[in-house]
A and B are shown apart, each in its own frame.
Chain A
Protein backbone atom coordinates (compact mmCIF):
# COMPACT_ATOMS: atom_id res chain seq x y z
CA UNK A 1 0.00 0.00 0.00
CA UNK A 2 1.42 3.37 -0.97
CA UNK A 3 1.57 6.17 1.53
CA UNK A 4 -1.13 8.11 -0.33
CA UNK A 5 -3.49 5.18 -0.07
CA UNK A 6 -2.69 4.80 3.56
CA UNK A 7 -3.70 8.37 4.17
CA UNK A 8 -6.90 8.38 2.16
CA UNK A 9 -7.88 4.73 2.21
CA UNK A 10 -11.21 3.81 3.71
CA UNK A 11 -11.12 2.80 7.30
CA UNK A 12 -7.98 4.72 8.12
CA UNK A 13 -8.44 5.75 11.74
CA UNK A 14 -7.40 9.32 11.01
CA UNK A 15 -10.19 9.90 8.55
CA UNK A 16 -13.05 7.52 9.26
CA UNK A 17 -14.21 8.05 5.72
CA UNK A 18 -16.92 5.44 6.06
CA UNK A 19 -18.21 6.75 9.32
CA UNK A 20 -20.92 9.32 9.44
CA UNK A 21 -22.04 11.19 12.51
CA UNK A 22 -25.78 11.67 12.77
CA UNK A 23 -27.68 13.48 15.46
CA UNK A 24 -30.90 11.76 16.36
CA UNK A 25 -32.95 14.09 18.46
CA UNK A 26 -33.42 16.03 20.66
CA UNK A 27 -36.56 16.65 18.61
CA UNK A 28 -37.22 13.31 17.03
CA UNK A 29 -40.48 11.39 17.27
CA UNK A 30 -38.89 8.10 18.25
CA UNK A 31 -36.65 9.39 21.01
CA UNK A 32 -39.61 9.86 23.37
CA UNK A 33 -39.16 13.44 24.36
CA UNK A 34 -35.85 15.17 24.22
CA UNK A 35 -33.22 12.48 24.23
CA UNK A 36 -30.38 13.21 21.84
CA UNK A 37 -28.45 10.27 20.47
CA UNK A 38 -25.21 11.00 18.64
CA UNK A 39 -24.88 8.10 16.25
CA UNK A 40 -21.68 7.05 14.55
CA UNK A 41 -22.82 5.15 11.50
CA UNK A 42 -21.18 2.90 9.00
CA UNK A 43 -23.80 2.89 6.29
CA UNK A 44 -26.88 1.72 8.11
CA UNK A 45 -24.94 0.03 10.88
CA UNK A 46 -24.54 1.72 14.21
CA UNK A 47 -20.88 1.80 15.23
CA UNK A 48 -21.38 3.62 18.49
CA UNK A 49 -24.02 5.68 20.23
CA UNK A 50 -23.57 8.48 22.67
CA UNK A 51 -26.72 9.57 24.49
CA UNK A 52 -26.79 13.23 25.48
CA UNK A 53 -29.07 14.11 28.36
CA UNK A 54 -30.13 17.33 29.96
CA UNK A 55 -32.44 18.93 27.39
CA UNK A 56 -35.28 18.77 29.91
CA UNK A 57 -33.22 19.52 32.99
CA UNK A 58 -35.26 21.76 35.27
CA UNK A 59 -33.24 21.47 38.45
CA UNK A 60 -35.86 19.58 40.43
CA UNK A 61 -33.42 18.54 43.12
CA UNK A 62 -32.20 22.08 43.67
CA UNK A 63 -35.71 23.52 43.60
CA UNK A 64 -36.68 21.20 46.45
CA UNK A 65 -34.14 22.90 48.70
CA UNK A 66 -35.98 26.22 48.38
CA UNK A 67 -39.50 24.94 48.91
CA UNK A 68 -41.41 23.60 51.86
CA UNK A 69 -42.30 19.94 51.90
CA UNK A 70 -45.88 20.61 50.89
CA UNK A 71 -45.05 23.13 48.17
CA UNK A 72 -42.80 20.65 46.48
CA UNK A 73 -45.57 18.09 46.25
CA UNK A 74 -47.31 20.18 43.59
CA UNK A 75 -44.35 19.96 41.24
CA UNK A 76 -43.25 16.41 41.57
CA UNK A 77 -45.72 14.79 39.19
CA UNK A 78 -44.10 16.81 36.39
CA UNK A 79 -41.06 14.60 36.61
CA UNK A 80 -42.19 11.44 34.89
CA UNK A 81 -45.34 12.91 33.45
CA UNK A 82 -46.83 9.59 32.33
CA UNK A 83 -46.74 8.07 35.79
CA UNK A 84 -46.94 11.21 37.89
CA UNK A 85 -48.83 9.48 40.63
CA UNK A 86 -45.87 7.28 41.46
CA UNK A 87 -43.58 10.28 41.78
CA UNK A 88 -45.96 11.73 44.36
CA UNK A 89 -46.20 8.37 46.05
CA UNK A 90 -42.47 7.89 46.46
CA UNK A 91 -42.06 11.44 47.75
CA UNK A 92 -44.87 11.26 50.30
CA UNK A 93 -43.59 7.87 51.44
CA UNK A 94 -40.24 9.50 52.07
CA UNK A 95 -41.71 12.37 54.08
CA UNK A 96 -44.04 10.03 55.98
CA UNK A 97 -41.09 7.86 56.90
CA UNK A 98 -39.17 10.90 58.11
CA UNK A 99 -42.08 11.98 60.29
CA UNK A 100 -43.11 8.43 61.31
CA UNK A 101 -46.67 8.90 60.11
CA UNK A 102 -49.04 6.00 59.71
CA UNK A 103 -51.37 6.52 56.78
CA UNK A 104 -55.06 5.58 57.20
CA UNK A 105 -55.93 2.23 55.66
CA UNK A 106 -58.48 3.64 53.25
CA UNK A 107 -55.93 6.08 51.87
CA UNK A 108 -53.55 3.22 51.18
CA UNK A 109 -56.23 1.38 49.21
CA UNK A 110 -57.01 4.52 47.23
CA UNK A 111 -53.32 4.95 46.49
CA UNK A 112 -53.09 1.41 45.20
CA UNK A 113 -56.18 1.77 43.02
CA UNK A 114 -55.11 5.07 41.47
CA UNK A 115 -51.53 3.87 41.18
CA UNK A 116 -52.47 0.76 39.26
CA UNK A 117 -54.77 2.76 36.99
CA UNK A 118 -51.81 5.01 36.34
CA UNK A 119 -49.64 1.98 35.58
CA UNK A 120 -52.17 0.90 32.99
CA UNK A 121 -52.14 4.21 31.12
CA UNK A 122 -48.37 4.35 31.28
CA UNK A 123 -48.13 0.89 29.77
CA UNK A 124 -50.61 2.01 27.12
CA UNK A 125 -48.07 4.58 26.02
CA UNK A 126 -45.25 2.06 26.22
CA UNK A 127 -47.23 -0.26 23.99
CA UNK A 128 -48.37 2.38 21.54
CA UNK A 129 -45.05 4.16 21.25
CA UNK A 130 -43.08 0.96 20.89
CA UNK A 131 -45.28 -0.15 18.01
CA UNK A 132 -45.16 3.34 16.52
CA UNK A 133 -41.36 3.09 16.56
CA UNK A 134 -41.66 -0.15 14.65
CA UNK A 135 -43.82 1.57 12.07
CA UNK A 136 -47.28 0.41 13.10
CA UNK A 137 -49.56 3.35 13.72
CA UNK A 138 -52.85 1.60 14.50
CA UNK A 139 -51.85 0.28 17.96
CA UNK A 140 -50.79 3.77 18.94
CA UNK A 141 -54.21 5.19 18.13
CA UNK A 142 -55.98 2.30 19.82
CA UNK A 143 -53.93 2.73 22.94
CA UNK A 144 -54.73 6.42 23.04
CA UNK A 145 -58.41 5.70 22.51
CA UNK A 146 -58.51 3.33 25.48
CA UNK A 147 -56.39 5.56 27.66
CA UNK A 148 -59.25 8.04 27.65
CA UNK A 149 -61.39 5.66 29.73
CA UNK A 150 -58.79 5.66 32.48
CA UNK A 151 -58.25 9.39 32.16
CA UNK A 152 -61.95 9.93 32.72
CA UNK A 153 -61.71 7.94 35.96
CA UNK A 154 -58.62 9.78 37.11
CA UNK A 155 -60.16 13.12 36.27
CA UNK A 156 -63.23 12.15 38.26
CA UNK A 157 -61.08 11.43 41.31
CA UNK A 158 -58.33 14.04 41.13
CA UNK A 159 -59.71 16.74 38.87
CA UNK A 160 -56.71 16.43 36.56
CA UNK A 161 -55.83 14.29 33.61
CA UNK A 162 -52.08 14.13 34.06
CA UNK A 163 -50.56 16.21 36.87
CA UNK A 164 -52.67 14.86 39.67
CA UNK A 165 -51.37 16.49 42.84
CA UNK A 166 -53.71 14.12 44.63
CA UNK A 167 -51.37 12.69 47.27
CA UNK A 168 -51.01 14.39 50.58
CA UNK A 169 -48.47 13.71 53.26
CA UNK A 170 -50.49 11.41 55.49
CA UNK A 171 -53.08 10.30 52.96
CA UNK A 172 -54.78 11.57 49.85
CA UNK A 173 -56.46 14.86 49.10
CA UNK A 174 -60.08 13.79 49.24
CA UNK A 175 -62.19 10.68 49.14
CA UNK A 176 -63.21 8.84 45.99
CA UNK A 177 -66.40 10.29 44.46
CA UNK A 178 -69.54 8.18 44.72
CA UNK A 179 -69.70 7.20 41.06
CA UNK A 180 -66.09 6.11 40.91
CA UNK A 181 -66.57 2.51 41.94
CA UNK A 182 -69.22 1.79 39.32
CA UNK A 183 -67.16 3.49 36.62
CA UNK A 184 -64.02 1.66 37.64
CA UNK A 185 -65.73 -1.73 37.71
CA UNK A 186 -67.17 -1.07 34.27
CA UNK A 187 -63.69 -0.27 32.99
CA UNK A 188 -62.23 -3.39 34.61
CA UNK A 189 -64.93 -5.50 33.01
CA UNK A 190 -64.20 -4.22 29.51
CA UNK A 191 -60.46 -3.86 29.73
CA UNK A 192 -59.19 -7.49 29.53
CA UNK A 193 -61.00 -7.88 26.20
CA UNK A 194 -59.18 -4.80 24.97
CA UNK A 195 -55.81 -6.23 25.97
CA UNK A 196 -56.73 -9.33 23.98
CA UNK A 197 -57.50 -7.02 21.10
CA UNK A 198 -54.06 -5.41 21.33
CA UNK A 199 -52.41 -8.78 21.41
CA UNK A 200 -54.43 -10.04 18.48
CA UNK A 201 -53.31 -7.04 16.51
CA UNK A 202 -49.62 -7.35 17.24
CA UNK A 203 -48.27 -10.31 19.17
CA UNK A 204 -48.42 -12.94 16.44
CA UNK A 205 -47.67 -10.51 13.64
CA UNK A 206 -44.91 -11.82 11.38
CA UNK A 207 -43.22 -8.45 10.88
CA UNK A 208 -43.42 -7.64 14.57
CA UNK A 209 -41.86 -10.96 15.51
CA UNK A 210 -39.03 -10.63 13.03
CA UNK A 211 -38.29 -7.14 14.30
CA UNK A 212 -38.34 -7.98 18.00
CA UNK A 213 -37.37 -11.60 18.63
CA UNK A 214 -33.74 -11.84 19.68
CA UNK A 215 -33.33 -8.08 19.33
CA UNK A 216 -31.60 -6.08 22.06
CA UNK A 217 -31.00 -8.98 24.41
CA UNK A 218 -30.19 -8.03 28.00
CA UNK A 219 -28.66 -10.83 30.05
CA UNK A 220 -29.64 -11.18 33.72
CA UNK A 221 -26.16 -10.27 34.94
CA UNK A 222 -26.24 -7.14 32.79
CA UNK A 223 -29.54 -6.16 34.36
CA UNK A 224 -27.87 -6.12 37.76
CA UNK A 225 -24.64 -4.63 36.48
CA UNK A 226 -26.43 -1.64 34.96
CA UNK A 227 -29.01 -1.30 37.70
CA UNK A 228 -32.07 -1.88 35.53
CA UNK A 229 -35.39 -2.46 37.23
CA UNK A 230 -39.06 -2.83 36.46
CA UNK A 231 -40.30 -4.62 33.32
CA UNK A 232 -36.91 -4.13 31.65
CA UNK A 233 -35.32 -6.27 34.36
CA UNK A 234 -38.14 -8.77 34.65
CA UNK A 235 -38.16 -9.43 30.91
CA UNK A 236 -34.65 -10.85 31.41
CA UNK A 237 -35.91 -13.20 34.09
CA UNK A 238 -34.76 -11.19 37.10
CA UNK A 239 -37.59 -11.82 39.52
CA UNK A 240 -37.67 -8.51 41.32
CA UNK A 241 -40.70 -6.39 42.05
CA UNK A 242 -40.69 -3.93 44.93
CA UNK A 243 -44.43 -4.34 45.36
CA UNK A 244 -43.78 -7.92 46.41
CA UNK A 245 -40.22 -7.77 47.83
CA UNK A 246 -40.64 -4.69 49.98
CA UNK A 247 -44.38 -5.04 50.27
CA UNK A 248 -45.07 -1.37 50.89
CA UNK A 249 -48.57 0.05 51.30
CA UNK A 250 -51.24 -2.70 51.21
CA UNK A 251 -49.69 -4.71 48.39
CA UNK A 252 -49.02 -7.80 50.57
CA UNK A 253 -52.79 -8.28 50.86
CA UNK A 254 -53.23 -8.77 47.14
CA UNK A 255 -52.72 -11.81 45.05
CA UNK A 256 -50.89 -10.98 41.84
CA UNK A 257 -48.26 -12.49 39.62
CA UNK A 258 -45.03 -10.84 38.61
CA UNK A 259 -44.72 -11.53 34.88
CA UNK A 260 -41.28 -12.70 33.84
CA UNK A 261 -39.59 -13.04 30.48
CA UNK A 262 -37.01 -15.60 29.48
CA UNK A 263 -34.70 -14.08 26.92
CA UNK A 264 -34.65 -10.38 27.71
CA UNK A 265 -35.23 -9.27 24.13
CA UNK A 266 -37.59 -6.58 22.85
CA UNK A 267 -40.40 -9.09 22.51
CA UNK A 268 -40.14 -10.16 26.15
CA UNK A 269 -40.18 -6.57 27.34
CA UNK A 270 -43.30 -5.92 25.27
CA UNK A 271 -44.94 -9.09 26.56
CA UNK A 272 -44.08 -8.28 30.19
CA UNK A 273 -45.84 -4.95 29.95
CA UNK A 274 -48.93 -6.50 28.41
CA UNK A 275 -49.07 -9.08 31.20
CA UNK A 276 -48.54 -6.36 33.81
CA UNK A 277 -51.62 -4.57 32.53
CA UNK A 278 -53.61 -7.74 33.18
CA UNK A 279 -52.14 -8.08 36.66
CA UNK A 280 -52.92 -4.44 37.41
CA UNK A 281 -56.59 -4.98 36.60
CA UNK A 282 -56.60 -7.90 39.04
CA UNK A 283 -55.03 -5.78 41.78
CA UNK A 284 -57.56 -2.99 41.26
CA UNK A 285 -60.43 -5.46 41.43
CA UNK A 286 -59.15 -6.90 44.70
CA UNK A 287 -58.57 -3.44 46.12
CA UNK A 288 -62.09 -2.35 45.21
CA UNK A 289 -63.43 -5.43 47.00
CA UNK A 290 -61.26 -4.97 50.05
CA UNK A 291 -61.46 -1.21 50.49
CA UNK A 292 -62.59 -0.18 53.94
CA UNK A 293 -64.18 2.96 55.28
CA UNK A 294 -62.61 5.59 57.44
CA UNK A 295 -60.65 8.79 56.95
CA UNK A 296 -58.54 9.29 53.84
CA UNK A 297 -55.95 11.58 55.37
CA UNK A 298 -54.73 12.81 58.70
CA UNK A 299 -54.72 16.44 59.54
CA UNK A 300 -51.28 17.89 59.03
CA UNK A 301 -50.03 21.39 59.74
CA UNK A 302 -49.30 23.40 56.59
CA UNK A 303 -45.69 23.86 57.63
CA UNK A 304 -44.08 20.51 58.22
CA UNK A 305 -40.93 20.14 60.22
CA UNK A 306 -39.69 16.58 59.99
CA UNK A 307 -37.02 15.64 62.50
CA UNK A 308 -33.41 15.55 61.33
CA UNK A 309 -32.45 12.37 59.55
CA UNK A 310 -32.31 10.69 56.19
CA UNK A 311 -34.54 8.14 54.49
CA UNK A 312 -34.67 6.32 51.19
CA UNK A 313 -38.03 5.11 49.97
CA UNK A 314 -38.77 3.57 46.62
CA UNK A 315 -41.91 2.53 44.76
CA UNK A 316 -42.35 0.25 41.78
CA UNK A 317 -43.36 2.55 38.96
CA UNK A 318 -44.24 1.29 35.47
CA UNK A 319 -40.56 1.77 34.63
CA UNK A 320 -38.99 0.29 37.74
CA UNK A 321 -37.59 1.40 41.04
CA UNK A 322 -38.28 5.08 41.59
CA UNK A 323 -36.54 6.15 44.75
CA UNK A 324 -36.48 9.29 46.85
CA UNK A 325 -33.60 9.99 49.19
CA UNK A 326 -34.48 12.76 51.61
CA UNK A 327 -32.16 14.46 54.07
CA UNK A 328 -33.84 16.66 56.64
CA UNK A 329 -32.02 18.92 59.04
CA UNK A 330 -35.11 19.57 61.09
CA UNK A 331 -36.01 22.66 59.08
CA UNK A 332 -38.92 23.62 56.90
CA UNK A 333 -37.27 22.61 53.65
CA UNK A 334 -35.50 19.45 52.60
CA UNK A 335 -31.74 19.74 52.97
CA UNK A 336 -31.21 17.37 50.07
CA UNK A 337 -33.59 15.51 47.84
CA UNK A 338 -32.30 12.93 45.42
CA UNK A 339 -34.58 11.37 42.85
CA UNK A 340 -33.50 8.00 41.57
CA UNK A 341 -35.05 7.35 38.19
CA UNK A 342 -35.15 3.88 36.61
CA UNK A 343 -34.99 5.23 33.05
CA UNK A 344 -31.65 6.89 33.79
CA UNK A 345 -30.10 3.46 34.22
CA UNK A 346 -31.95 2.10 31.20
CA UNK A 347 -30.62 4.82 28.90
CA UNK A 348 -27.07 4.23 30.12
CA UNK A 349 -27.42 0.79 28.60
CA UNK A 350 -28.39 1.93 25.09
CA UNK A 351 -24.79 2.23 23.78
CA UNK A 352 -24.07 -1.34 24.76
CA UNK A 353 -27.34 -2.69 23.41
CA UNK A 354 -27.34 -0.99 20.05
CA UNK A 355 -23.72 -1.10 18.86
CA UNK A 356 -23.56 -3.28 15.75
CA UNK A 357 -27.28 -3.11 15.00
CA UNK A 358 -29.07 -1.16 12.30
CA UNK A 359 -30.61 2.26 12.94
CA UNK A 360 -34.12 0.87 12.63
CA UNK A 361 -33.29 -1.66 15.34
CA UNK A 362 -31.90 1.04 17.56
CA UNK A 363 -35.30 2.71 17.35
CA UNK A 364 -36.95 -0.58 18.27
CA UNK A 365 -34.63 -1.18 21.22
CA UNK A 366 -35.05 2.34 22.55
CA UNK A 367 -38.81 1.98 22.23
CA UNK A 368 -38.84 -1.31 24.08
CA UNK A 369 -37.03 0.23 27.05
CA UNK A 370 -39.94 2.66 27.53
CA UNK A 371 -37.98 5.88 27.97
CA UNK A 372 -39.52 9.00 29.45
CA UNK A 373 -37.12 11.88 29.56
CA UNK A 374 -38.97 13.98 32.12
CA UNK A 375 -37.79 11.77 34.95
CA UNK A 376 -34.29 11.28 33.62
CA UNK A 377 -33.37 14.91 33.14
CA UNK A 378 -35.14 16.05 36.30
Chain B
Protein backbone atom coordinates (compact mmCIF):
# COMPACT_ATOMS: atom_id res chain seq x y z
CA UNK B 1 0.00 0.00 0.00
CA UNK B 2 1.98 2.92 -1.26
CA UNK B 3 1.12 6.27 0.16
CA UNK B 4 0.81 9.08 -2.30
CA UNK B 5 2.46 12.40 -1.67
CA UNK B 6 0.14 15.39 -1.82
CA UNK B 7 2.23 17.09 -4.51
CA UNK B 8 2.24 13.94 -6.61
CA UNK B 9 -1.51 13.70 -6.17
CA UNK B 10 -1.78 17.32 -7.27
CA UNK B 11 0.06 16.59 -10.51
CA UNK B 12 -2.02 13.46 -11.08
CA UNK B 13 -5.28 15.28 -10.51
CA UNK B 14 -4.20 18.11 -12.81
CA UNK B 15 -3.46 15.61 -15.55
CA UNK B 16 -6.67 13.70 -14.95
CA UNK B 17 -9.09 16.59 -14.80
CA UNK B 18 -7.49 18.97 -17.29
CA UNK B 19 -9.78 21.88 -17.92
CA UNK B 20 -12.47 20.57 -15.59
CA UNK B 21 -10.50 21.83 -12.63
CA UNK B 22 -10.81 25.57 -12.23
CA UNK B 23 -8.26 25.61 -9.48
CA UNK B 24 -5.93 23.11 -7.85
CA UNK B 25 -4.13 23.69 -4.61
CA UNK B 26 -2.92 22.05 -1.42
CA UNK B 27 -4.26 23.41 1.82
CA UNK B 28 -4.49 21.85 5.26
CA UNK B 29 -2.90 18.61 3.93
CA UNK B 30 -5.83 18.28 1.55
CA UNK B 31 -5.74 18.46 -2.19
CA UNK B 32 -8.36 21.10 -2.98
CA UNK B 33 -9.96 20.99 -6.41
CA UNK B 34 -12.45 23.60 -7.50
CA UNK B 35 -14.88 22.70 -10.26
CA UNK B 36 -17.89 24.36 -11.86
CA UNK B 37 -21.28 22.94 -10.83
CA UNK B 38 -21.92 21.59 -14.34
CA UNK B 39 -18.57 19.79 -14.44
CA UNK B 40 -19.02 18.13 -11.07
CA UNK B 41 -20.39 14.70 -12.17
CA UNK B 42 -17.71 14.31 -14.82
CA UNK B 43 -14.91 15.29 -12.44
CA UNK B 44 -16.31 13.05 -9.69
CA UNK B 45 -16.55 10.08 -12.03
CA UNK B 46 -13.00 10.55 -13.25
CA UNK B 47 -11.68 10.84 -9.69
CA UNK B 48 -13.58 7.74 -8.60
CA UNK B 49 -12.55 5.56 -11.51
CA UNK B 50 -8.93 6.66 -11.81
CA UNK B 51 -6.60 3.87 -10.80
CA UNK B 52 -4.13 6.01 -8.92
CA UNK B 53 -6.42 8.46 -7.13
CA UNK B 54 -9.42 6.07 -6.86
CA UNK B 55 -11.66 8.19 -4.65
CA UNK B 56 -14.11 5.40 -3.94
CA UNK B 57 -14.99 6.77 -0.53
CA UNK B 58 -17.11 9.89 -0.10
CA UNK B 59 -16.69 11.01 3.47
CA UNK B 60 -19.35 13.71 3.48
CA UNK B 61 -20.86 16.65 1.66
CA UNK B 62 -20.63 19.99 3.41
CA UNK B 63 -22.61 23.07 2.63
CA UNK B 64 -21.16 26.44 3.61
CA UNK B 65 -22.89 29.80 3.34
CA UNK B 66 -20.35 32.55 2.67
CA UNK B 67 -23.05 35.25 2.38
CA UNK B 68 -21.85 36.32 -1.07
CA UNK B 69 -21.85 32.81 -2.43
CA UNK B 70 -22.59 29.32 -1.31
CA UNK B 71 -20.37 26.34 -1.42
CA UNK B 72 -20.77 22.59 -1.61
CA UNK B 73 -17.71 20.71 -0.48
CA UNK B 74 -17.18 17.02 -1.19
CA UNK B 75 -14.66 15.30 1.04
CA UNK B 76 -13.17 12.35 -0.78
CA UNK B 77 -10.53 9.88 0.19
CA UNK B 78 -8.86 7.06 -1.59
CA UNK B 79 -8.61 4.07 0.68
CA UNK B 80 -5.35 2.96 -0.91
CA UNK B 81 -3.29 6.11 -0.82
CA UNK B 82 -4.88 8.17 1.95
CA UNK B 83 -4.70 11.49 0.15
CA UNK B 84 -7.74 13.44 1.28
CA UNK B 85 -9.32 15.43 -1.52
CA UNK B 86 -11.74 18.30 -1.27
CA UNK B 87 -13.91 18.89 -4.27
CA UNK B 88 -15.11 22.45 -4.01
CA UNK B 89 -18.11 23.74 -5.95
CA UNK B 90 -19.02 27.38 -5.75
CA UNK B 91 -22.74 28.03 -6.13
CA UNK B 92 -24.90 31.01 -6.83
CA UNK B 93 -26.47 31.96 -3.51
CA UNK B 94 -29.78 33.03 -5.02
CA UNK B 95 -30.20 29.80 -6.93
CA UNK B 96 -27.96 27.11 -5.45
CA UNK B 97 -28.16 24.17 -7.82
CA UNK B 98 -25.70 21.40 -8.47
CA UNK B 99 -26.04 18.01 -10.17
CA UNK B 100 -26.49 15.10 -7.80
CA UNK B 101 -23.70 12.53 -7.39
CA UNK B 102 -25.97 9.88 -5.90
CA UNK B 103 -25.35 7.56 -8.80
CA UNK B 104 -21.60 7.87 -8.32
CA UNK B 105 -21.55 7.27 -4.56
CA UNK B 106 -24.70 5.77 -3.02
CA UNK B 107 -23.78 7.28 0.32
CA UNK B 108 -24.18 10.75 -1.17
CA UNK B 109 -27.95 10.34 -1.01
CA UNK B 110 -28.38 11.34 2.64
CA UNK B 111 -25.55 13.83 2.67
CA UNK B 112 -27.23 15.68 -0.18
CA UNK B 113 -30.54 15.59 1.63
CA UNK B 114 -28.81 17.10 4.65
CA UNK B 115 -27.22 19.88 2.60
CA UNK B 116 -30.63 20.58 1.06
CA UNK B 117 -32.23 20.62 4.49
CA UNK B 118 -29.72 23.02 6.01
CA UNK B 119 -28.86 25.24 3.06
CA UNK B 120 -31.55 24.73 0.43
CA UNK B 121 -29.01 23.54 -2.11
CA UNK B 122 -30.94 21.77 -4.87
CA UNK B 123 -29.26 18.60 -6.06
CA UNK B 124 -30.57 18.09 -9.57
CA UNK B 125 -31.40 14.49 -10.35
CA UNK B 126 -31.51 13.36 -6.73
CA UNK B 127 -33.97 10.47 -6.39
CA UNK B 128 -35.65 11.68 -3.22
CA UNK B 129 -34.72 15.21 -2.21
CA UNK B 130 -36.55 15.78 1.07
CA UNK B 131 -35.63 17.27 4.41
CA UNK B 132 -33.86 14.81 6.63
CA UNK B 133 -33.22 16.25 10.09
CA UNK B 134 -35.70 19.10 10.48
CA UNK B 135 -39.45 18.66 10.20
CA UNK B 136 -41.07 18.45 6.78
CA UNK B 137 -43.05 21.70 7.00
CA UNK B 138 -40.16 23.79 8.28
CA UNK B 139 -40.22 27.11 6.51
CA UNK B 140 -36.53 27.93 6.38
CA UNK B 141 -33.14 26.41 5.75
CA UNK B 142 -31.66 26.89 9.19
CA UNK B 143 -27.93 27.12 8.50
CA UNK B 144 -28.25 29.91 5.99
CA UNK B 145 -27.02 33.08 7.60
CA UNK B 146 -30.32 34.87 6.94
CA UNK B 147 -32.46 31.97 8.08
CA UNK B 148 -34.37 33.86 10.76
CA UNK B 149 -35.38 37.35 9.64
CA UNK B 150 -37.03 38.10 13.00
CA UNK B 151 -33.69 37.92 14.75
CA UNK B 152 -32.44 40.85 12.77
CA UNK B 153 -29.97 42.30 15.24
CA UNK B 154 -27.91 39.23 15.67
CA UNK B 155 -27.91 38.31 12.00
CA UNK B 156 -27.01 41.86 11.06
CA UNK B 157 -23.89 41.66 13.17
CA UNK B 158 -23.00 38.38 11.63
CA UNK B 159 -23.52 39.77 8.17
CA UNK B 160 -21.44 42.89 8.65
CA UNK B 161 -18.61 41.50 10.67
CA UNK B 162 -18.16 38.25 8.90
CA UNK B 163 -18.62 39.53 5.40
CA UNK B 164 -15.85 42.04 5.97
CA UNK B 165 -13.57 39.68 7.77
CA UNK B 166 -13.87 37.27 4.91
CA UNK B 167 -12.76 39.87 2.42
CA UNK B 168 -10.06 41.44 4.59
CA UNK B 169 -8.76 38.94 7.12
CA UNK B 170 -6.84 41.56 9.11
CA UNK B 171 -9.83 43.73 9.92
CA UNK B 172 -11.32 43.74 13.46
CA UNK B 173 -14.34 41.56 14.02
CA UNK B 174 -17.67 43.25 14.75
CA UNK B 175 -19.31 40.18 16.23
CA UNK B 176 -17.53 41.07 19.44
CA UNK B 177 -20.23 43.58 20.51
CA UNK B 178 -22.44 41.28 22.53
Interface residues, chain A, CB within 8 Å of chain B? 53-54, 57, 59, 61-62, 65-66, 97, 221-222, 224-228, 238, 240, 245-246, 305, 307-312, 314, 321, 323, 325, 327, 329-333, 335-336, 338, 340, 344-345, 347-348, 352, 377-378
Please name all residues of chain B whose beta carbon is closer than 8 Å to the beta carbon of A309 when the two chains form the complex: 27-28
CA distance A13 to B14 in the complex (A): 51
Cross-chain contact A227 with B133 (CB below 8 angstroms): no
Please name all residues of chain B whose beta carbon is closer than 8 Å to the beta carbon of A221 when the two chains form the complex: 56
Closest CB of chain A to B154's CB: distance in Å? Answer: 7
Cross-chain contact B107 with A57 (CB below 8 angstroms): no
| Chain B, 60-96, CB within 8 A of any chain A CB | 60, 62, 64-65, 73, 75, 79, 82, 84, 86
CA distance A269 to B91 in the complex (A): 40
Query: Of B62, B134, B166, B173, which contacts A57 at CB under 8 A?
Result: B134
Closest CB of chain B to A44's CB: distance in Å? Answer: 27
Interface residues, chain B, CB within 8 Å of chain A? 27-28, 30, 56-60, 62, 64-65, 73, 75, 79, 82, 84, 86, 105-107, 109-111, 114, 118, 131-135, 142-143, 154, 158, 161-162, 165-166, 169, 173, 175-176
Please name all residues of chain B whose beta carbon is closer than 8 Å to the beta carbon of A308 when the two chains form the complex: 165-166, 169
Query: Of B64, B105, B106, which contacts A327 at CB under 8 A?
Result: B64
Number of A-B contacts (CB under 8 A): 111
Cross-chain contact A307 with B75 (CB below 8 angstroms): no
Closest CB of chain A to B124's CB: distance in Å? Answer: 20
* 18 further A-B pairs in the complex, CB-CB below 8 A; given A323-B60, A330-B169, A344-B110: A54-B133, A54-B135, A57-B134, A61-B143, A221-B56, A222-B106, A226-B107, A227-B107, A308-B169, A331-B161, A331-B175, A332-B176, A335-B162, A336-B65, A340-B59, A348-B110, A377-B133, A378-B133
Please name all residues of chain B whose beta carbon is closer than 8 Å to the beta carbon of A345 when the two chains form the complex: 107, 110
A-B pairs, 6 with minimum CB distance: A227-B107, A331-B173, A224-B56, A226-B107, A54-B133, A340-B60
Q: Known: A331-B175, A348-B107. Contact between A323 and B56, CB under 8 A? A: no
CA distance A351 to B84 in the complex (A): 29
Closest CB of chain A to B103's CB: distance in Å? Answer: 11
Cross-chain contact B79 with A340 (CB below 8 angstroms): no
CA distance A77 to B65 in the complex (A): 26
Between A310, A340, A377, the greatest number of chain B beta carbons within 10 A of the residue's beta carbon is seen for A310
CA distance A225 to B108 in the complex (A): 9
Between A57, A222, A240, A331, the greatest number of chain B beta carbons within 10 A of the residue's beta carbon is seen for A331
Cross-chain contact B173 with A330 (CB below 8 angstroms): yes
Cross-chain contact A97 with B175 (CB below 8 angstroms): no
Please name all residues of chain A whose beta carbon is closer than 8 Å to the beta carbon of B28 when the two chains form the complex: 97, 309-312
Query: Of B75, B142, B162, which contacts A62 at CB under 8 A?
Result: B142
Cross-chain contact B169 with A307 (CB below 8 angstroms): yes
Q: Known: A323-B60, A344-B110. Contact between A227 and B166, CB under 8 A? A: no
Closest CB of chain B to A87's CB: distance in Å? Answer: 16
